[in-house]
Amino acid sequence: MSHWYPNTFAEYVFRNLTEEHSSFHLDQDLDRSALENILSICYQASFMREEERQVRFRLIIRNPENIPPGQSPPNGLHRFVFTEPRPCSEEELRRLFPAASFHRSMIGVTLDGNSLPHIWGIVHSGPRWLQLMHGGTQQINPLPDSLIIFVTGPGRITVSVGLSPVAGLRGGKLISSEKDVLFSRWLRDFFAANRDEFWGIHQEARRKYGAGWATIAPEFPMMLGQNLMRRVISLVCSFRHGGMLVIVPMEFSEKLKEPNPYLNIKYTFTADEGKQGVQHDIAMVMNEFAQASGSPGHAPPLGWSEYQAIATPSLSRLDEMLFEKAHLLAELTLVDGAVVLNRRFELLGFGAEISGGLDNVTTVQRAHDIEGVNREPISVGEVGTRHRSAYRLCKALRDALAVVVSQDGQVRFVRWLDGQVTYWDQMSTSILDF
């Protein structure tokens, strides 16, 4: 299907919500026609403006009596119930959205006996849910298992259950977790050796100081590193400036700071300053997580969900430290040129210009799945200079990975795969652009 619209989008969402092995559990029954109606209303509202402001809102489908009274952010939801409900229409959403700040509130909707939607009030959530989207320790109660619809721009809609994304619609294209490159096996393998280094540092600390520490699941450092990368890319997208991250093999860490045929890095760092990377930081998080979780006895190893559910001051500080590293890396992309990192995510420099002397690339492979099993040849004639330079670099430096972000927020992963330059379009980095 070339373009998706509310009817087909609703069918996809409904199937994912109701299939036999679905992991989603809704607190309110919703039939397909009612879902399609609500999504169509939200879709139409997404193209509207109110006094030159773009319509942007979160809508939660939940009965007001299922939100306990007397609570307020950051520890709960605060409901404000209208004396009389309002019809849920695109015009009503256009008028109401300024009073329900996107980052702090949701528009409360319920269904009547005929499955027609009505707006019953406003739900104040506070802004901390934004922190949870990118990982980190969970400092507030999660949003309830209600259907939440995010309208973030014209034709841009995301459906989630709580903060678990179901699917998204952006520019007539379907977005789903099946297209999330950050979950690919090849990307996991790309960082495998350096992930083992994190694990080795943690295991050494366990031997010295870890009496009574909980056991951490082996995949935890992978999830932590993945969420750090997701944070960086999401922040770059939010700047609407465009940029590029180039991740190179460890053996090129010093070579690329000197004259070389691949990159001219305008701003480089000394070894000590540039190596304020994440290897040591991730190991510190692992150590603190194991210590804060206490002795597990024979409990299973702790993973990502347990990490999100724990909130100690020390872990929160470490998570904030990683978040600040993500901000730093993202902000460096605001300078023209690429930000260059090695596979430990150590910063080598920024403002890097990819050599114009590298061989041109006229055709690349577009991957249709996250592993690149199904691909098709694509001419490079329709992309800009930033993308073409990334293609040239990945052809010449075949162990490199380029992440290219366009001004419109499009994210593209580029690497050499099976003898050809291959790219993946990453449709989402957070629930806001899912």
The residue extents of the domains of the chain are 6-175, 181-426
Q: What is the mean pLDDT of the chain?
A: 87
In this structure, which CATH number among 3.30.70.3270, 3.60.20.10, 3.10.450.50, 3.40.1700.10 belongs to the domain 181-426?
A: 3.40.1700.10
pLDDT at 165 over 90: no
**Between residues 197 and 263, the one the model is more confident about:** 263
pLDDT band at 407 (very low <50, low <70, confident <90, very high): confident
pLDDT at 161 over 80: yes
pLDDT band at 239 (very low <50, low <70, confident <90, very high): confident
What does the pLDDT read at residue 274? 47
pLDDT tens digits, residue range 127-159?
Answer: 877 765 555 555 555 678 889 999 998 999 999
**Between residues 393 and 172, the one the model is more confident about:** 393
Q: Give percent above pLDDT 70 in the chain.
A: 90
3-state SS, one letter per residue, for the chain: CCCCCHHHHHHHHHHHHHCCCCCCCCCCCCCHHHHHHHHHHHHHHCCCEECCEECCEEEEECCHHHCCCCCCCCCCCEEEEEEEEEECCHHHHHHHHHHCCCCCEEEEEEECCCCCEEEEEEEECCCCHHHHCCCCCCCCCCCCCCEEEEEEECCEEEEEECCEEEEEEECCEEECHHHCHHHCHHHHHHCHHHHHHHHHHHHHHHHHHCCCCCCECCCHHHHHHHHHHHHHHHHHHHHCCCEEEEEECHHHCCHHHCCCCCEEEEEECCHHHHCCCCHHHHHHHHHHHHHHCCCCCCCCCECHHHHHHCCCHHHHHHHHHHHHHHHHHHHHCCCCCEEEEECCCCEEEEEEEECCCCCCCCEEEEECCCCCCCEEEEEHHHCCHHHHHHHHHHHHCCCCEEEEECCCCCEEEEEEECCEEEEEEECCCCCCCC
pLDDT tens digits, residue range 195-219?
Answer: 888 888 898 998 988 888 999 998 8
The pLDDT of 245-263, averaged and rounded, is 93
What does the pLDDT read at residue 60? 95
pLDDT tens digits, residue range 23-39?
Answer: 666 666 788 999 999 99
What does the pLDDT read at residue 331? 96
pLDDT tens digits, residue range 225-236?
Answer: 888 898 899 889
What does the pLDDT read at residue 231? 87
What does the pLDDT read at residue 378? 94
What does the pLDDT read at residue 433? 54
Q: Report the C-alpha gap between 157 and 137 in whole angstroms.
A: 27
pLDDT tens digits, residue range 264-318?
Answer: 999 998 766 545 567 788 889 999 999 988 765 557 888 887 887 777 888 888 8
pLDDT tens digits, residue range 322-366?
Answer: 888 889 999 999 999 999 999 988 899 999 999 999 999 999 999
pLDDT band at 434 (very low <50, low <70, confident <90, very high): very low
